[in-house]
Chain A
Amino acid sequence: MSKEFEPNILGFLCNWCSYAGADLAGTSRMKYPSNLKSIRVMCSGRVDPSFVLEALRKGVDGVLIAGCHPGDCHYQSGNYKTNRRIKLLKKLLMELGVEPQRVRFEYVSASEGQKFASIVTEFVAEMKKLGPNPITVDKK
């Protein structure tokens, strides 16, 4: 009767690295769950925590932000700064006990198709365990 819960995952992927990594995973026919919808950003530094909050509010169950490895950001420091911002957001969610696991920051390079696929697989599995996002207004 009850269908298995299929989480909605939103990915903010850096154009120069993880977006290409995701592409590689696709062209190499690596398998990963189709729960991920991605938004390509020109740098992980473009991701403001308010995007993450808005996504959670609009019904996304988990948000993945992926950027270039330390030292590789095309704009020098976008990845470091976003890492800090996401750290703070997660810290706050943790403080309030509001499921910090739903937000995740990762480094994925253009050649790491396999890493990308396993991150998504693992993240989806975790969100399945966690269940639907409780702070959404838009979903069942």
Chain B
Amino acid sequence: MTQKVLKVKDNDVLGSTNEFLRHLLSSGKIQALLVPQSIPSKKVVYPVLIADPKKLHADIIAPVLPVATATVVSKITKVQPPSKPIGVVLRSCQIRALIELVKLNQASLTNIVLIGVDCPGTFPINTYAGFPEKKTPTHFIIDAITKKTNDAEQYLRSACKVCKDPIPTNADIILGFYGTDIEKEIIVEAHSEIGKDLLKDLPLEDEKEGNAREKAVKEIREEKDKKRAMFLKEKEGIKGIEKVAEFFDKCVNCHNCRQACPICYCKECLFDSSVFDAEAYKFIRRAENKGLFKMPSDALLFQLGRMNHMILSCVECGLCEQACPNTIPLMEVFIPAAENAQKEFEYHPGKDKTEKVPMIVYREDEFLEVGEK
């Protein structure tokens, strides 16, 4: 790993990251950059693929994640990966999701340079869009890192409050905000050969003395681990068919959660298929059986089916919860389920490209005890 320093001019964190990215794109070594960038209204940032450095006005520190960037990278690389490198700027949860998609053959890392950014968390889209202009991304990142006020922490999405790991892993380049005086300097790390090569010619300063970064990373990881553990302890309460049904009782079966999820990639979801279609007499029979029949009737099965399909790869990004029109706190069920199912299969989604997804492998000596009640 090589560590360098990007100087921040006039406390303008955002401007400095943009200068860095423009240099990167101008180097000629990458043909395009996928970055979060504001649309003209300035209210939301979307992943934007940029070819011309002059058009780059990214918002990589804007605390909002409207869509799964991992899904966007899948779109770009699935049919045919790029022939020359492109850089993609991702938060840690989206790198984890992308690694899962690669394992599931839904994306490729060929000629993809992963640029990870430290992520102090994101806000719900409407919260972010509603901020007055003076509450800029720079304001929030400084606040989130220095914790001078509670401005950033209080708005965090529930998934971000208990984030599994705010520091990117598996990235070629990391832009680090923890462990530095962010108003003055940003840490830039290269974790691979291509990462090193890309940083070589950029206007960066050499690494500083001391291990402030290491210490800060350890601290924030410990803090998040603690919060996540507390969350898991508090949320073990949703158990039993009645409680589960009640938890999902605002679910209108719109499947937005599935649409927003980076892991749910199936082209044809079972729950959109005709499997659950039936003749009128069957509906009437259902009504006659109990005297009444509520519709739609598949919400609970949809949730169970979706979970069963993707929970081992769930990266806890919370985009499902963000997408739910009826604000069902999905993470209260998904985080405990993911934690426990992943533990059972000793699987760590997004951690290691070579770790195979559990449902395609097996060991001959495992789970020999069957038929348990």
Contacts and interface: CB of A to CB of B under 8 A. Distances in A.
A88 B244 contact: no
B285 A53 contact: no
**By DSSP majority rule, is chain B's interface helix, strand, loop, or mixed?**
helix
A135 B301 contact: yes
B337 A101 contact: no
Given A70-B364, A80-B362, A50 B241 contact: no
B364 A84 contact: no
B71 to A, nearest CB: 23
A49 B308 contact: yes
Nearest to B371: A106
Given A89-B308, A134-B241, A135-B300, 11 more contacts: A49-B305, A49-B308, A71-B364, A81-B360, A87-B367, A92-B337, A95-B340, A101-B373, A119-B371, A126-B373, A139-B289
B240 A54 contact: no
Contacts of A134: 241
Contact of B282 (A53, A106, A138, A140): A138
A88 B345 contact: yes
B358 interface: yes
B367 A84 contact: yes
A84 B238 CA distance: 25
Contact of B341 (A92, A107, A135): A92
Interface string A85-111: 101110111011111010011110000
B280 interface: no
A8 B305 CA distance: 22
B254 interface: no
Interface in A48-66: 49-50, 53-54, 56-57
A128 to B, nearest CB: 14
Given A92-B337, A97-B241, A138 B301 contact: no
B355 to A, nearest CB: 15
A57 B307 CA distance: 16
A80 B286 CA distance: 37
18 contacts: A50-B308, A80-B363, A80-B364, A80-B366, A87-B367, A88-B341, A88-B359, A92-B307, A92-B308, A92-B337, A95-B337, A96-B238, A96-B333, A104-B373, A106-B371, A119-B371, A134-B241, A139-B289
A138 B341 contact: no
A1 interface: no
Nearest to B358: A84
A15 interface: no
Interface string B83-120: 00000000000000000000000000000000000000
A18 interface: no
A35 B241 CA distance: 24
Query: Interface residue tally of chain B, by bracket?
Result: 35 or more
A105 B370 CA distance: 6
B359 A85 contact: yes
A87 B333 CA distance: 19
Query: Interface residue tally of chain A, by bracket?
Result: 35 or more
B367 A98 contact: no
B362 A84 contact: yes
A99 B244 CA distance: 12
B289 A138 contact: yes
B241 A53 contact: no
A6 B197 CA distance: 70
A119 B344 CA distance: 26
B282 A91 contact: no
Contact of B362 (A54, A77, A137): A77
Contacts of A53: 301, 304-305, 308
Given A57-B301, A92-B307, A135 B364 contact: no
Interface in B284-309: 285-286, 289-290, 293, 297-298, 300-301, 304-305, 307-308
A53 B300 CA distance: 10
A73 to B, nearest CB: 10
B242 to A, nearest CB: 8
Contact of A140 (B243, B289, B358): B289
A71 B364 CA distance: 8
Contacts of B240: 96-98
A126 B337 CA distance: 26
B53 interface: no
Contacts of A81: 359-360, 362
B367 A83 contact: yes
